[in-house]
């Protein structure tokens, strides 16, 4: 009961949403800031050892307690608009590019160079 009373005090930040990654959190925070709402974003990705996978990648959006209703309304509107846009049959399908090809080639070349370096250090070749 005391926690509820704390959340209602003006001037306190209250968590209004939790999303799965830092990018989504920053997009939602930017949307709220565009409406003049002060926002704080909390995530393990901001620490000295950033974690961006699984449950630890979750990002929390915090707003002032006196603006929580307005922020919730804005976030709901954004979610509904995204759902409508995703379900629009008239929209052109976006062709997916494969940026992983370059990464795989880089990884193979890096492994090859690392192997040659190890062989040179051990003088096995």
pLDDT of residue 123: 76
Does 69 lie in the same domain as 84? Answer: yes
Whether 14 and 32 have beta carbons less than 8 Å apart is answered as no
> What's the confidence (pLDDT) of residue 58?
86
Q: Are residues 48 and 84 in the same domain?
A: yes
Same structural domain for residues 7 and 65? yes
Distance spanning both ends of the chain, measured CA to CA = 72
The total of structural domains in the chain comes to 2
Q: Would you state the structure tokens that stand for residue 93, as one six-digit string?
A: 């399908």
Same domain, 34 and 78: yes
d(CA 122, CA 125): 8
For the four alpha carbons of 108, 110, 115 and 120, in that order, the dihedral sign comes to positive
Q: For residue 19, what are the domain limits?
A: 2-93
Same domain, 44 and 69: yes
| Same domain as 106, residue 76 | no
Do 81 and 107 belong together in one domain? Answer: no
**5 conformational bin, left if phi > 0, alpha if psi -120 to 50, beta if neither:** alpha
pLDDT value, residue 1: 39
> Which domain CATH number covers 30?
3.30.70.790
Structure confidence at residue 8 (pLDDT): 54
pTM, two decimals, is 0.57
pLDDT tens by residue, the chain, 125 residues: 345 444 456 679 999 988 888 888 888 999 999 989 999 998 887 777 777 777 777 889 999 999 889 998 888 888 877 777 666 666 665 555 556 677 788 888 899 989 888 888 887 55
Q: What is the pLDDT of residue 38?
A: 93
**Residue 63 pLDDT:** 94
Q: Hey, which residues does 43 pair with through a beta bridge?
A: 59
Structural element, H or E, at residue 9: none
Same domain, 87 and 108: no
- Clarify whether residues 45 and 77 are in a common domain: yes
């Amino acid at each position: 009961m005391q926690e509820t009373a704390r959340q209602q005090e003006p001037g306190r930040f209250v968590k209004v949403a939790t999303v799965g990654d830092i990018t989504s959190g920053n997009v939602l925070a930017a949307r709220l800031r565009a409406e003049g709402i002060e926002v704080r974003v909390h995530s393990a990705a901001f620490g000295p050892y950033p974690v961006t996978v699984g449950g630890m990648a979750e990002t929390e959006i915090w707003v002032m307690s006196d603006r929580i209703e307005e922020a919730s309304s804005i976030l709901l509107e954004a979610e509904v608009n995204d759902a409508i846009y995703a379900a629009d049959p008239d929209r052109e399908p976006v062709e997916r590019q494969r940026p992983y090809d370059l990464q795989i080639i880089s990884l193979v070349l890096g492994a090859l160079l690392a192997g040659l370096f190890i062989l040179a250090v051990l003088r096995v070749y």
